[in-house]
Amino acid sequence: METTLRGVGVSHGVAIGEVRHMGTAVLEPPAKQIPAEEAEREQGRARQAVEAVAADLIARGNLAGGEAQHVLEAQAMMAQDPELMADVERRIAVGSTAERGVYDAFASYRALLAGAGEYLAGRVADLDDVRNRIVARLLGVPMPGVPDSDEPYVLIARDLAPADTALLDPALVLGFVTEEGGPTSHSAILARALGVPAVVALPGAGELAEGTLIAVDGSTGEIFVEPSDAKRAELESAAAARKAALTAATGPGATSDGHKVPLLANVGGPSDVPAAVEAGAEGVGLFRTEFLFLDDSQQAPSEEKQIAAYRAVLEAFPEGRVVVRVLDAGADKPLDFLTPADEPNPALGVRGLRSLLDHPDVLRTQLTALSKAAEGLPVYLEVMAPMVADRADAKAFADACREAGLNAKFGAMVEIPSAALRARSVLQEVEFLSLGTNDLAQYTFAADRQVGAVSRLQDPWQPALLDLVALSADAAKAEGKSCGVCGEAASDPLLACVLTGLGVTSLSMGAASIPYVRATLAKYTLAQCERAASAARAADSAEEARRAAQAVLSGE
């Protein structure tokens, strides 16, 4: 009998196949004591396992490339964290086995993150995966991971670590469903990059029996268990229609009546550029430069290394617009040379622009490198600061750009509600705004962007979040300046229409989402988008807002 479940759709498309479950997690190792004379040997085993796991993660990243490579390299750094390793060795020194020392040290670190306000709990899946891989290697058991299968299937898991998501084979893994996670988790972002339909935050997903036939709609978040022939035909027909629309829609982003909405790509480095170019991106709306810095948490990359990375991206978009976000460190992206180690709540502490203003030499080097990278290129370079709270922040950043001799537009990211509420004031100092809807939702609703339990509040359809977008867009229009969206909200085709109706002037997203957004925008006039935006803001919940916008655009 057909039943319907609903989670959070995070990657477009429809997948129909049998359920296969993720391999079981590593069991907790026994808490036995070892003689003192064995401690040194056990410490050596632990170090070897850590290095082997880190090397494996880096190798997986090299194979995957793009966004996945950056994520996995960051995860390898987590495995090699010197403080964690020191804790492991201390535990072994007082009698723990290598595997038990690793298990307990990671448990302690997990508890520490929870005590720090749970902002970093967004990386719990990453942390658990690193622990499981190290313990599995020490115990000599198979690594946890995707199941072996000769036939295509839909993968079910409690959560998916980046190392698993990055190397999914779309020919075998038709789609995936997780019990936990959120729309802005690493796995969700990587699923969109892979083009694999995915639904997260589905309670009870693990109870779906192995071999059960399900249909996954990554756009709506619906899961149809034992779908009828009619439902399967309906979903397959809708998927075919969407594919045809994607093929037909080409050229710059625009509504059906010609209102231009540039569609830009979010990239993490040169390896992400080919996919963006292939998808027809009109430029880059968010160049995340922090991945360049995460290669070495002990020191900033040299000016020469930065110039080479920036120029590789700038050269790919001649005559195009490239918006670079300066280093966004802190919170879930700590850097030893930059980030305070003892903050009680890193999410509300010294991160983003605040870190850079405390370390002006790091900011100056980055701005100088960007200036040199753009020399002689016919590119429209724009540089923006993360975590701008008010006009004073915006002025400090603009002043730093001018002092570095940067020939570019200076902008501010709107990720803190205060910046949206006082957007017109912020715009007295900068030339454009860019809405980071992931963090803006997090700070608006006090809801960690990676915790599945609060994913309802991370839904970018929340009317309160749409209100803040509208405030920012209205302020930019009044000042004759631009206001784009570079958060994950822009990758939802229906929401992209609403954002356009709210007055947003450009949309930036993962390359895989660009064709979907282009095709959907081309179906509606600007007036229809504006009516859909008004209907969504008048709603009282995210789900009501989505339904109201859909009703307007479908002519109901």
* Burial of residue 3 (number of CB atoms within 10 Å: 0-12, 13-18, 19+): exposed
Element (H, E) at 100: helix 98-115
H or E stretch at 412? strand 409-414
109 is written with which tokens? 């670190």
Helices 437-445 and 463-478: angle between axes, nearest 10 degrees: 120
Are the C-beta atoms of residues 529 and 255 closer than 8 Å to each other? yes
The first and second tokens of residue 267, run together, are 């990239």
Q: Following CA atoms 71, 76, 82, 87 in sequence, which dihedral angle do they give, to the nearest 10 degrees?
A: 100
Q: Are 22 and 208 in contact (CB under 8 A)?
A: no
Query: Cα–Cα distances in Å, from 295 out to 74, 266, 290, 513?
Result: 8, 20, 9, 28
- Which residues carry out catalysis? 186, 486
Q: What are the tokens at 124?
A: 């719990």
Phi-psi sector, 376: left (phi>0), alpha (psi -120 to 50), beta = left
Question: How far is it, in rounded angstroms, from Cα 413 to Cα 63?
Answer: 32
- Relative to beta strand 3-6, strand 222-225 is antiparallel
- The DSSP bridge partners found for residue 507 are 263, 485
Helix (H) or strand (E) holding 428: none
Task: State the Cα angle at 208 between 204 and 213, rounded to 5°.
Answer: 140
Question: Can you tell me whether residue 513 is helix, strand or coil?
Answer: helix
Contact 61, 73 (CB under 8 A): yes
Would you state the structure tokens that stand for residue 522, as one six-digit string?
A: 């081309």
Residue 432: what are its φ and ψ, rounded to 5°?
-160, 165
The 3-state DSSP class for residue 264 equals: strand
Residue pointed to by tokens 């594919």: 243
DSSP-based three-state secondary structure for 3: strand
Question: Is residue 507 within 8 Å of residue 469, measured between CB atoms?
Answer: no
